Amino acid sequence: MSTNIREIDDYDVDRVFYQVVSQPYPVVLRGIASDWPLVKKAQESDQNADRFLRQYYNGTTVHAFVSESDIEGRIFYTEDLADNNFRKISTQMDWILDQLHENRETRSAPTIYMGSAPIAHCLPGIGKENSLPHDGIEATVRIWIGNKTTVAAHYDAMDNIACVCAGRRRFTLFPPDQLENLYVGPIDHTPAGQAVSLVNFDEPDLSRYPRFAEALKHAQTAELEPGDAIYVPSMWWHHVKGLDEFNILINHWWRQCPSFMGAPYDALLHAILNIRDLPESQRDAWQNIFDFYVFDAEEENVRHIPEGRRGVVGELDETTARKIRATLRNKLNR
């Protein structure tokens, strides 16, 4: 029921960050990383990619998800969401690579997944030729290594260009407005930091999650080979499945806003704490206030206030941001 994610082949590698954000939907960039040394080594063999990583690894501790039981690679919860179905460990990248090699031919191999390791900290020197030119964009570049793993559908607040370096990955994306149809689990008890869809995409139970059928009408999918990349816009839900026994991905996260701005998720928690359970009439009034000052904010709304006296409803800058954070800290500490 899903459609293919749009592909573009007229990209400019040196300006790709600016190209992809010019439209608010995902795109696939075939072959954009095909010249990376890591990708070339992986296309020769998994062993060559393994050796390539080890020669750059500096011994920094990394974090990984592992499970000795057969969870079929699905990074998820245990029954009734009581706990996670894996252990999070601190280890060495060498150990992870060893385990992936030793269990490659093992039936029902244990799940091994190292995610979101900054390459500047653990693989210094590899980023120059194995990441996209930033061209002024402040992007954080991270590496993900594992076997056949499945990451449940979730969103990230940052924009993302993810480049497949080894193995194949299948991406399934949904626009932000499909939240209600994805049956999202707890937002403060999550497998890996982000709230995830509880639906098993391999075997969706439509009797338990009937609205997921509507979500599938809006799904977009793509299968990426080594050297391919995908742009996942901020707030788009994405489900990622590693299809091979040895997978490497390098991604680039960045924000389209000034660095002094905070995390929107913090505002969600404040709203749950302070607004959600108010009487309906008060919630309606606060919704109108939020629309006026936040979602539909316009110069016209505050033009009657002298510019120098607009405070937090005026133009936001580093100084104002510091004042807001100080005010919030004082209020929370009462």
Of the residues 218, 235, 254, which one is the last residue of a structural domain?
254
CATH number for position 204: 2.60.120.650
- Give the residue from 307, 313, 320, 311 showing the smallest Cα distance to 294: 313
Q: Are residues 226 and 280 in the same domain?
A: no
What pLDDT is stored for residue 332 in this prediction? 84
Residues 63 and 134 in one domain: yes
Instruction: Tell me: do 195 and 271 sit in the same domain.
Output: no
Rounded Cα distance between 200 and 79, Å, is 13
Are 240 and 279 in a shared domain? no
Decide which of 254, 278, 308 is a domain's last residue.
Answer: 254
Q: Report if residue 288 sits inside a domain.
A: yes
The residue segments making up the domain with residue 316 are 264-332
C-alpha angle 9-253-89 in degrees, rounded to nearest 5:
125
Residue 211 has a pLDDT of 98
In this structure, are residues 175 and 236 in contact, taking their beta carbons and an 8 Å threshold?
yes
Q: Residues 245, 298: one domain? A: no
Q: What is the pLDDT of residue 1?
A: 65
* Residue 180 contacts residue 75 (beta carbons within 8 Å): no
Mean pLDDT by 10 residues, the chain (334 residues): 90 94 93 98 97 97 91 93 95 96 83 95 95 91 96 97 98 98 96 95 97 98 98 98 97 93 94 97 97 95 94 92 92 81
Whole-structure pTM value: 0.95
In the chain, how many domains are there?
A: 2
Residues 85 and 155 in one domain: yes
Q: Does the residue 210 lie in any domain?
A: yes
Q: Is 254 helix (H, G, I), strand (E, B) or coil?
A: strand
Query: Residues 167, 45: one domain?
Result: yes
pLDDT, tens digit, 9 for 90 and up, residues 103-158: 887 777 899 999 899 999 999 999 999 999 988 899 999 999 999 999 999 999 99
Last residue of a domain, one of 206, 224, 254: 254
Domain contains 259: no
| Helix, strand, or coil (residue 228) | coil
Three-state secondary structure string covering 155-207? CCCCEEEEEEEECCEEEEEECHHHHHHCCECCCCCCCCCCCCECCCCCCCCCC
pLDDT number for residue 216: 97
183 contact partners, CB below 8 Å, separation of at least 6: 197, 198, 199, 209, 211, 212
CA distance 222 to 230: 9
Same domain, 17 and 130: yes
Q: What local confidence, expressed as pLDDT, does residue 104 receive? A: 83
Kindly state whether residues 187 and 141 are assigned to the same domain: yes
| 109 DSSP assignment | P
Size (the chain), residues: 334
At residue 53, the pLDDT reads 98
Q: Are 53 and 85 in a shared domain? A: yes
pLDDT of residue 40: 98
Q: Are 173 and 37 part of one and the same domain?
A: yes
Looking at the structure, tell me whether residues 276 and 159 fall in a common domain: no
